[in-house]
Amino acid sequence: MTIHLKNISKSFGNVVALKDVSISLNSSEVLGLLGDNGAGKSTLIKVLSGIHQKDTGSIMFDDKEVTIEDPRKSQALGVATVYQDLSLVELRNVSQNIFLGLEPRKARFFINKQQMDSDAKDLLKKLQINIPSVRSQVENLSGGQRQSIAIARAIARGGDTILLDEPTAALGVEQTSQVHGLLRELKDAGKTVVVISHDIKEVLNIVDRVVVLRQGTVAGEGYSKDLNQGTIVDWITGVER
Amino acid sequence: MTGLQELRDRDSMEYIKKKLKLVDSWTLIGLLATLFVACIFFSTQSEYFFTTRNFINISRAISIRGILAVSVTMLLISGSLDLSLAAVAAAASMATASLMISGYSDIQSFAGGILVGAILGAINGVIVVKFRIPPIIATLGTLLTFRGLGYVFSGGDSIVIGAQTWAYLGRGTSPFLNLPVSFLVFISILSFFWVLLNYSVVGNYIYSIGSDPDPCRYVGINVDKIRFTLFVFSAVIAAFGGLILLSQGGTAQPRALQGAELDIIAAVLLGGVNLRGGKGSLVGTFLGMCIIGVINNGTILLNVPAYWQMVFRGSILIIAVTLDSFRKGGGYR
């Protein structure tokens, strides 16, 4: 599945967050989305995940134009998102978080808790995520464990495209490398992955292609093997050398 | 890849989990112990306390407030609050009584009262969900408005429908154990919503929205629809409570249940419901209601002056809020 975002613009009152942004997400690639604070990275992710609606522009899934009016539509199109603040429900357990909105049911209205716990265990095992119990409340988990649950939840949606907003911002060195390993596994599984990050070095290590946003517009893009940190810094800051 | 398999149980999460589970259990055990101690105390002070007749009186006394407490519990768990529920109950009973004395049938009048409850709940829902007004402010306003309208409508007078109307609902007793029908209605409503909260998909959403609505929105749950529906359902339950009150006394009064809001909220908080949402249970609410019911009954039997009863109730509210603060691990800053 190839996703094309064409001339996307989005404003909040007088503040222009995105202005004619055009980006393509190719199948089975890891794309790094870079930029300074306020560059429009998170807004772009939220447009694609249905949290915000674009003002103008078009979104094409395999050359078919789609309208993403809410998160449910985005999920139906195979897009799953891990937000910067993780967006986990602190007072619910691991299973309930992974399957929030997708709960296995019995008799239509009731949750099949046994199946939900069993499916959560299977998913965590498959992803090699070590959590003491799927009945653990999220508020009691460490930062790395929470990030893992957030990623597992995105994968549980069954989508082909995973969007991750600053997936390692709150993590230590070891936990960061573990998340990088998980991202590589997603790529190997044929998923399209978009990673937002401030960390240029990190991005160059894990992504295939880089797009840099500055003040709501695309400042530069290229394959990571052809880029170095200096070039990306120039795109981010707007400095011509 | 190395994956996340190296994530270890370094924070001893199982241990913490067990401790937390223990704390949750202690909330219920603590409530049972408090109830037990209160019963023992009042039994030693009054020969009338530990009698079947008195316990039936207590169960009858907590029925209507208990029904309203079910609504308050669900709203608090969802992160909302409705201070106007007692006023809604009074308005529903006024509307039903008015319809009855205007010549409408019992069923029509009953439906009219429930409909008034639904409309008032919808008004609260619109103010909170559409206009984004904090529930405590919105429902404080509607509490005064609904109560005031009740007085305006009746000119401050009661509406008498007769002591025999629906007497079985308000004053009847069941053949089994001789329990008040109103108490059985309370237990039925409580049981229904206990199942809903603990086993249904909607119940899971109510807890999740109360903990944090944003993740729910991000996965496509219609948070506003659930919140609005909860306001309407809660008001309908409160209206039903108002109709039982009407059948108990045979009169509808604009001041009915005035001030009951605080007793109900105190019982709900005492029962372990988190004031910030996301936590709590209807079993805790039931025990909280029983404790308050026993204390109210006991203080009356001991001829404690009414002013001192107010002091007791205020103290219970403070204890309940303090417990809630401890449970959250913080307080006012």
**B201: nearest CB among A50, A109, A133:** A109
Residue B145 class from Cβ within 10 Å (0-12 exposed, 13-18 middle, 19+ buried)?
middle
In a domain, A19, yes or no: yes
Rounded to whole angstroms, how far apart are CA atoms A232 and A213? 10
- Do A58 and A98 sit in the same domain of this protein? no
- Do A63 and A168 sit in the same domain of this protein? yes
Position A153 pLDDT exceeds 60: yes
DSSP state of A224: G
Q: Residue A97: list chain B partners with CB under 8 A.
A: 215
**Nearest C-alpha neighbor of A219 from the set A208, A203, A235:** A235
Domain of A8, CATH number, reads: 3.40.50.300
Structure tokens at B132: 């984004």
Q: Count the alpha carbons within 13 Å of B159 in the hemisphere toward its beta carbon.
A: 25
Q: What pLDDT, on a 0 to 100 scale, did the predictor assign at position B121? A: 98
Do residues B274 and B93 touch, judged by C-beta distance below 8 A?
no
In a domain, A84, yes or no: no
Rounded to the nearest angstrom, the minimum Cα separation between B74 and chain A is 16
Rounded to whole angstroms, how far apart are CA atoms A89 and A16? 31
Last residue of a domain, one of A108, A123, A157: A157
Q: What pLDDT, on a 0 to 100 scale, did the predictor assign at position A180? A: 82
In a domain, A236, yes or no: yes
Within its chain, how far is the Cα of B209 from the centroid? 19
Last residue of a domain, one of A140, A157, A174: A157
Q: Residue B14: list chain A partners with CB under 8 A.
A: 132-133
Q: What pLDDT, on a 0 to 100 scale, did the predictor assign at position B50? A: 93
- Do A106 and A215 sit in the same domain of this protein? no
Percent of chain B with pLDDT over 90: 67
Determine, for residues B14 and A132 on separate chains, whether the beta-carbon distance falls below 8 Å: yes
Average pLDDT over residues A132-156: 87
Q: What pLDDT, on a 0 to 100 scale, did the predictor assign at position B31? A: 85
Report how many helices (DSSP H) and strands (DSSP E) chain B contains, helices first: 13, 2
Average pLDDT over residues B30-35: 87
List, for residues B94-118, the tens digit of each pLDDT value: 999 999 999 999 899 999 999 999 9
List, for residues A223-241, the tens digit of each pLDDT value: 989 988 899 999 998 876 5
Determine, for residues B215 and A51 on separate chains, whether the beta-carbon distance falls below 8 Å: no
Q: What pLDDT, on a 0 to 100 scale, did the predictor assign at position B329? A: 59
Average pLDDT over residues B123-136: 96
Determine, for residues B218 and A87 on separate chains, whether the beta-carbon distance falls below 8 Å: yes
Q: What pLDDT, on a 0 to 100 scale, did the predictor assign at position B133? A: 95
Q: Which amino acid is at A183?
A: L
CA angle A187, A190, A191 (to 5 degrees): 70
- Do A68 and A164 sit in the same domain of this protein? yes
Residue B326 class from Cβ within 10 Å (0-12 exposed, 13-18 middle, 19+ buried)?
exposed
* Location of structure tokens 């810094």: A233
Q: Looking at chain A, how many residues does it have?
A: 241
**B8: nearest CB among A90, A130, A153:** A130
Please, what is the average pLDDT of chain B? 88
- Do A33 and A139 sit in the same domain of this protein? no
List, for residues B1-17, the tens digit of each pLDDT value: 344 444 444 444 555 44
Q: Residue A173: list chain B partners with CB under 8 A.
A: none
Q: Residue A70: list chain B partners with CB under 8 A.
A: 220
Q: Which residue of A has its CA nearest to B215?
A: A87
Rounded to whole angstroms, how far apart are CA atoms B259 and B265? 11
Rounded to the nearest angstrom, the minimum Cα separation between B147 and chain A is 36
- Do A23 and A70 sit in the same domain of this protein? yes
Gyration radius of chain A's alpha carbons: 18
Beta bridge partners of A61: A3, A64
- Do A29 and A140 sit in the same domain of this protein? no
- Say how many C-beta atoms besides its own lie within 10 A of residue B308's C-beta: 11
In a domain, A59, yes or no: yes
Confidence band, pLDDT 50/70/90 cuts, at residue B284: very high
Position B218 pLDDT exceeds 90: no
Average pLDDT over residues B72-97: 96
Determine, for residues B4 and A100 on separate chains, whether the beta-carbon distance falls below 8 Å: no
Beta bridge partners of A16: A11
Rounded to the nearest angstrom, the minimum Cα separation between A56 and chain B is 22
Average pLDDT over residues B282-296: 93
**B199: nearest CB among A72, A111, A135:** A111
Structure tokens at B187: 């237990």
- Do A241 and A163 sit in the same domain of this protein? yes
Q: What pLDDT, on a 0 to 100 scale, did the predictor assign at position A199? A: 82
Confidence band, pLDDT 50/70/90 cuts, at residue B314: confident
Q: What pLDDT, on a 0 to 100 scale, did the predictor assign at position B270? A: 87
In a domain, A83, yes or no: no
Higher pLDDT, A183 or B109: B109
In a domain, A85, yes or no: no
Rounded to whole angstroms, how far apart are CA atoms A9 and A47? 10
Do residues A18 and A40 touch, judged by C-beta distance below 8 A?
yes
Q: Which residues contact B1 (CB under 8 A, 6 or more apart)?
A: A181, A182, A184, A185, A188
- Do A152 and A190 sit in the same domain of this protein? no
Determine, for residues A142 and B11 on separate chains, whether the beta-carbon distance falls below 8 Å: yes
**Domains: count for chain A:** 2
- Do A119 and A2 sit in the same domain of this protein? no
Q: What is the DSSP string of A129-184?
A: ---S-TTSBGGGS-HHHHHHHHHHHHHHTT-SEEEEESTTTT--HHHHHHHHHHHH
Last residue of a domain, one of A157, A182, A216: A157
In a domain, A167, yes or no: yes
Gyration radius of chain B's alpha carbons: 21
Percent of chain A with pLDDT over 90: 53
What ipTM does this complex have? 0.82
Out of A204-218, B27-41, B64-78, B101-115, pick the least confident.
Answer: B27-41
Higher pLDDT, A212 or B9: A212
In this structure, the dihedral spanned by the alpha carbons of residues B205, B86, B322 and B299, taken in order and rounded to 10 degrees, is -140
Rounded to whole angstroms, how far apart are CA atoms A96 and A89? 9
Do residues A81 and A163 touch, judged by C-beta distance below 8 A?
yes
Q: Residue B8: list chain A partners with CB under 8 A.
A: 130
- Do A25 and A131 sit in the same domain of this protein? no
Chain B contacts to A (CB-CB under 8 A): 1-11, 13-14, 16-17, 20, 199-202, 204, 207-208, 210-212, 214-221, 274, 278-279
Report how many helices (DSSP H) and strands (DSSP E) chain A contains, helices first: 8, 12
Coil, strand or helix: which one is B73? helix
Within its chain, how far is the Cα of A215 from the centroid? 21
In a domain, A214, yes or no: yes
Coil, strand or helix: which one is A63? coil
**A129: nearest CB among B4, B200, B219:** B4
Average pLDDT over residues B301-314: 87
Q: Count the alpha carbons within 13 Å of A28 in the hemisphere toward its beta carbon.
A: 3
Domain of A140 in residue numbering reads as 90-157
The helix (run of H) or strand (run of E) holding residue A7 is strand A3-12
Do residues B40 and A163 touch, judged by C-beta distance below 8 A?
no
- Do A163 and A139 sit in the same domain of this protein? no
Determine, for residues B218 and A49 on separate chains, whether the beta-carbon distance falls below 8 Å: yes
Q: Residue B7: list chain A partners with CB under 8 A.
A: 129-131, 142, 144-145, 148, 175, 178
Q: Residue B79: list chain A partners with CB under 8 A.
A: none
Q: What pLDDT, on a 0 to 100 scale, did the predictor assign at position B84? A: 96
List, for residues A82-107, the tens digit of each pLDDT value: 887 768 999 999 999 999 999 999 98
Q: Which residue of B has its CA nearest to A148?
A: B4
Dihedral pair phi/psi, residue B160, rounded to 5°? -95, 130
Q: Which amino acid is at B168?
A: Y
